[in-house]
Structure 1
Amino acid sequence: MMSFQNRILRIYSILIGLLLAGVGLVLGQLYPLFVDNTANSLVNSKVEDISAYLSTTEVPKDIQNQIIHKVSFNDHIIESTDIQQTFWMFLFIILFLAFLIAIIIGASVFKKYAVPIEHLTQTAMELAKGNYRVRAFEDDFSGMSKLSKSINILARNLHDISVMRETEKERLKTLIENMGSALLMIDRNGETTIANRSFLKLFQLKFEDVDGKLFRKIGLPDQIEEFIDKLFLTESSNRQQLNIKKNHFTYYMDAYGAPVIGEHGRWLGIVIVMHDITELKKLEQVRKDFVANVSHELKTPVTSIKGFSETLLFGAYKKEETLLSFLEIIHKESNRLQALIIDLLDLSKVEQTGYEISKQKVYFSEIINSSIELTIHLADKKNITIETNIDEQVVILGETNRLKQIIVNLIANAINYSLENTMIKLSVYQNKKYGIFEIEDQGIGISKVEITRIFERFYRVDRARSRNSGGTGLGLAIVKHLVEAHQGYIEVHSEEGKGTIFKVYIPIVNT
């Protein structure tokens, strides 16, 4: 593409050429008059000189006239021809030199003014393309300095605005992508325009599956599609709790939808934010179950104590056998009630935020042996053999009493849920980070569905057996919290009818 300077120089050259050509034509029209006058003056001067000379000679008059006439005619032609040739040559040279001088002057002037203009034009075009880093050359000699400074100020402002816009865009993108709630934006045509990471993860979708697609064709649950339809119909904000079933599991979502309004009240679409409240629902259900279970567990011993005490007050105390039997029952139920209250207080304590234990170096074998001594009588009643495989060198960090509470609970549970004349295996070993206590029984086992719930408060695999054994239903809940307080964790492997394996991981002492 020809530059601005070359284009204007070419136009200038054409105009100068036409102007000089016009001057040449005008001079060409005036030339004959000038030539004739000049030629006549010269010829007349020569004729007069010849006539004066001939008058001094003896040449006849007729011959003199013929000579003068011929000389006059020939000289006129010769003079006219010479003058024309000289004039045209001179005129061409003058006009050509004038053209060259005009072109040289014009090129110099255009270079001074056209180049800055061309540079400013290119700068403006780059700005229009979005290249806000380009700058114009500020030349005070071209007279374009004010325009250059203005364009540079504009470029800097546009650059600052673009940087701010990109920063805000990146912040918004980061916020949308990393927010815990699922977000979906749909335009007025029903096509999805924004779907964040939480939304895609919740419904196991990819961005390519939803971008620009109609919301009905991306495989959303029926409840969400109905909620979206409601928003489109009412064109007003709405909130609704949705139950979404996926992989045989129910998710509870608190969905909030609102219309997106642009400038001049133009309706652009809708935006939906979905908060996962499944855990809140679980906690709410746990709270309800806890209240119901506590009430039930307290009701039984209290009812027994009240009933037997009332019977004694109405005269049964007079019979010694009845009195002793009733007092024994009251004592048993009061012990059960006391155990329940102690476990509740214990659980409440370990569940408190910031609960800490006093850690010290402890040989895991000492904890195991001490716990076996406390529970061996329970195993003897059912003729259960306890087999041990203990690494005496495993040293862990923990609180002795709390560790003993963990092990005693697990051994007691294994005994309670095992059949008579069976075996319980206890093992202690370690890996690079943890000391591991493993207990395996040959009891009734736990189903896969129940394994996820055995650490809930008051949850029992076999309610009749655990209640008859005197258990409160809080033991495993306490065990889980105490293990976590030691920065450890617990694993469960079980098969119905074959038995259960509990593995407790407690951090070892770094040597």
Structure 2
Amino acid sequence: MSSMKNRLLLLFMAWNATLLAGLFLLIGQLFPLYAGEEGTRPEFLWLMLALFFVFAFILNFIFGTRLIQVYAQPIQAAAETAMELAKGNYKARAPEVRSGRTLQLGTAVNVLARSLQEMSAVRELEQERLKTLIENMGSGLIMIGRRGKISLMNKSFAASFGLSLENTQDRAYQEIALPDRLIALIEDVFLSEDSINTQITVTDGVHTTHFAVYGAPVISGHGKWLGIVIVLHDITELKRLEQIRKDFVANVSHELRTPVTSIKGFTETLLDGAYEDRSSLLMFLEIIQKESNRIMLLIQDLLDLSKIEQSGFHLNLGDTDLNHVAARAAETVQLAASDKNIRLVIETASDARIQGDADRLLQVVTNLLSNAVVYSPEDTEIWLRIKEGKRHVTVEVEDQGIGIAQQEIPRVFERFYRVDRARSRNSGGTGLGLAIVKHLTEAHHGRIQVISEPGQGTTFQVVLPRTQPE
């Protein structure tokens, strides 16, 4: 702006200088005529002429400067502001003069700048909201242009298939490592130009992931085909819970059918006349009682597990000595251990007091010891150790039993899951003991760990905090 102002000022001064020089030459031509007249003083005329030149020059300079300030400078400022707006600098403003039509020009440019700034702010806000929504929507999303180039992909989609956002931008979807089933679905959407809603299963080694997939074409308001969008929702956990529900119903039916069938069969045998044989009568009644007790244990464990899993379940917290809990649990399983000539070894701690529910913790230790007795051969040992820490106390149950394979360890806490079904069922177990142990441990804000090798025995470690959080 200053360079243009200087150029205009110099041009104006040069123009005025030219006019004055022409006037000076004209007077110079006329001066000899006046100089020959009587009483005329040349020195006075030259002085007056010089003063007139100086006054005219100053007056023209002031007038030219004012003219530039009023007209040229605002126009140049408005032009430079428009250039800044074109570059995206919506904070630029043009000076608004007090009068003249240039006031309207500066005001109009500034109104335009403010409108563009507001529109830019709204656009940035909407873009930020859209970006936040896409990145945190929990489902995988990918947008593919009409030429098959990836235009948008969120982190959830990239994480589902181990992709990098930087290496996938503007690349064809066939060039990245997508499952064949998903690529086929993308091509179906491109060919049919219609929405698709389905489910796919992706297997990576031993891991299987289930996705609910929705694909649809992207069409602008003017009917122009822009590409397609694919949304993935991980439903693996829902599938797992659905399978657990099915297995639970099947297992409960199986576990109840066996004792009920036995009771029904022996009852019919007694009614057919076997009750007259006293020895057979007593044997059948003992079997019926045993199977009835088995049903009662199963029902009780189911009720306990259901109660523990309810949201309103609470513990009767109090000062609990785990040494005392371990002793009581050992007394409970001592008879079953003696029948198999298994020796229980208890190692206590000097300070094993925690804040917990003594009855529920007794249930935890008793179930672990009962499991150890069931899966341990005769003439072995079972260790029950209480280990103290600064903030936690650990209850450890180690046996010399059949052990658990590594691939089965994550499933031992499932309902009705048994490592050795025949041995557990013959012992009268319900298959719910470890599920109850896991839920009660988590209710105490603790954690449980399993260390095992087939044929080498198993160690269960229950780590419990000394104090419970508020």
Of the three residues 156, 161, 181, the one matched with 1:203 is 161
Q: Report how far residue 285 of structure 1 moved.
A: 0.6
Q: Report how far residue 18 of structure 1 moved.
A: 6.6
Of the three residues 367, 373, 382, the one matched with 1:424 is 382
Change (3 A) 1:472 1:419: same
Aligned position for 2:136: 178
Determine helix, strand or coil for the equivalent of 2:212.
strand
Instruction: For structure 2, list consecutive stretches of 5 or more residues without a partner in the other structure.
Output: none
Determine helix, strand or coil for the equivalent of 2:422.
helix
CA distance in 2, matches of 1:257, 1:468: 53
Q: How does 1:30-179 map to 2 (within 5 A)?
A: 101-141=59-99, 144-179=102-137
CA distance in 2, matches of 1:89, 1:188: 85
Of the three residues 258, 269, 273, the one matched with 1:315 is 273
- Comparing 363-372 with 353-362, which one deviates more in the overlay? 353-362
- Comparing 412-421 with 134-143, which one deviates more in the overlay? 134-143
Letter matched to residue 5 of structure 1: K
Aligned position for 1:188: 146
CA distance in 2, matches of 1:192, 1:371: 62
CA distance in 1, matches of 2:306, 2:172: 51
Q: Report how far residue 155 of structure 1 moved.
A: 2.6
Aligned position for 1:435: 393
Aligned position for 2:5: 5
Aligned position for 1:405: 363
Of the three residues 211, 232, 235, the one matched with 1:253 is 211
Q: Report how far residue 159 of structure 1 moved.
A: 2.2
CA distance in 2, matches of 1:124, 1:155: 8
Q: How does 1:282-431 map to 2 (within 5 A)?
A: 282-431=240-389
CA distance in 2, matches of 1:247, 1:122: 63
- Comparing 359-368 with 501-510, which one deviates more in the overlay? 501-510
CA distance in 2, matches of 1:347, 1:119: 79
Aligned position for 1:490: 448
Q: Report how far residue 292 of structure 1 moved.
A: 0.7
Aligned residues of 1:361 and 1:509 also touching (Cα < 8 A): no
Q: Report how far residue 504 of structure 1 moved.
A: 0.6
Aligned residues of 2:345 and 2:382 also touching (Cα < 8 A): yes
1:159-210 CA distances to partner (integer Å, 9 max, x unpaired)? 2222222222222212211221111111111111211111121111211121
Q: Report how far residue 468 of structure 1 moved.
A: 0.6
CA distance in 2, matches of 1:98, 1:301: 126
Aligned residues of 2:446 and 2:465 also touching (Cα < 8 A): yes
CA distance in 2, matches of 1:92, 1:221: 95
Aligned residues of 1:304 and 1:330 also touching (Cα < 8 A): yes
Q: Report how far residue 431 of structure 1 moved.
A: 2.5
Aligned residues of 1:395 and 1:509 also touching (Cα < 8 A): no
Letter matched to residue 408 of structure 2: E
Q: Report how far residue 249 of structure 1 moved.
A: 1.1
CA distance in 1, matches of 2:62, 2:81: 28
Aligned residues of 2:351 and 2:388 also touching (Cα < 8 A): no
- Comparing 445-454 with 166-175, which one deviates more in the overlay? 166-175
Is 1:470 the equivalent of 2:428?
A: yes
Q: Report how far residue 388 of structure 1 moved.
A: 1.8
Q: Which has the larger radius of gyration?
A: 1
Instruction: For structure 1, list consecutive stretches of 5 or more residues without a partner in the other structure.
Output: 44-82
1:92-147 CA distances to partner (integer Å, 9 max, x unpaired)? 99789756653442123212332232222222222222222233333315653343
Q: Report how far residue 252 of structure 1 moved.
A: 0.3
Q: Report how far residue 19 of structure 1 moved.
A: 6.2
**What TM-score results when the alignment is normalised by the length of structure 2?**
0.90
Change (3 A) 1:104 1:140: closer
Determine helix, strand or coil for the equivalent of 1:102.
helix
CA distance in 2, matches of 1:255, 1:400: 49
- Comparing 139-148 with 356-365, which one deviates more in the overlay? 139-148
Determine helix, strand or coil for the equivalent of 1:130.
coil
How many residue pairs were aligned? 463
Letter matched to residue 279 of structure 2: E
Aligned residues of 2:13 and 2:61 also touching (Cα < 8 A): yes
Letter matched to residue 295 of structure 1: S
1:314-369 CA distances to partner (integer Å, 9 max, x unpaired)? 11111111111111111111111111111111111111123111111101101000
Change (3 A) 1:115 1:90: same
- Comparing 482-491 with 426-435, which one deviates more in the overlay? 426-435
Aligned position for 1:232: 190
Change (3 A) 1:113 1:239: same
Q: Percent identity?
A: 50
- Comparing 402-411 with 100-109, which one deviates more in the overlay? 100-109
Letter matched to residue 174 of structure 1: T
CA distance in 1, matches of 2:65, 2:98: 20
CA RMSD of aligned residues (A): 2.9
CA distance in 2, matches of 1:222, 1:24: 94
CA distance in 2, matches of 1:375, 1:315: 39
Aligned residues of 1:116 and 1:142 also touching (Cα < 8 A): no
Determine helix, strand or coil for the equivalent of 1:138.
coil
Aligned position for 1:75: none
CA distance in 2, matches of 1:432, 1:163: 55
Letter matched to residue 215 of structure 1: Y
Aligned residues of 2:372 and 2:401 also touching (Cα < 8 A): yes
CA distance in 2, matches of 1:321, 1:467: 26
1:283-333 CA distances to partner (integer Å, 9 max, x unpaired)? 111111111111111100010111110111111111111111111111111
